[in-house]
Chains A and B, each alone.
Chain A
Amino acid sequence: MNASPVRSRALSSFVTFRRSATNHVVTVVAIVSTIVVLVPLVAIFGYLLYKGASSLNLAFFTHVPMPVGEPGGGMANAIVGSGAILGLASLLGIPVGIGAGVYLAEYSRGKWLGTAIRFTADVLNGVPSIVMGIAAYALIVGPQKHFSGLAGGVALAIMMVPTVARTTEEMLATVPKAVREAALGLGIPKWRTVLSVSLRTASPGIITGCMLAFARVAGETAPLLFTAFGNQFWSFDLNQPIAALPLQIYVYALSPYDEWHRLAWAGALVLIVMIMASVTLVRIFANRGVLKGGN
Chain B
Amino acid sequence: MVHVQKRIIEPNHGDWAVEARGLVKNFGDNRAVDGVNLNVRAGTIYGVLGPNGAGKTTTIGMLATLLRPDAGSARIFGHDVVKESQIVRQLIGVTGQYASVDESLSATENLIIFSRLLGLGRAEARQKADELLEEFGLTEAAKRPLKNFSGGMRRRLDLAASLIAQPPLIFLDEPTTGLDPRTRTQMWDTIRRLVKTGSTILLTTQYLDEADQLADRIAVIDHGRVVAEGTVDELKASVGTSSLQLSIQNLQDIDVARQIVERVLNIQSNVLYEAGKIIAPMANADLVTDLLIALRESGIQLSEMSVQKPTLDEVFLTITGQGVKKDAEKASFESKKAEVAKA
Decide if A and B are genuine partners. Answer: no
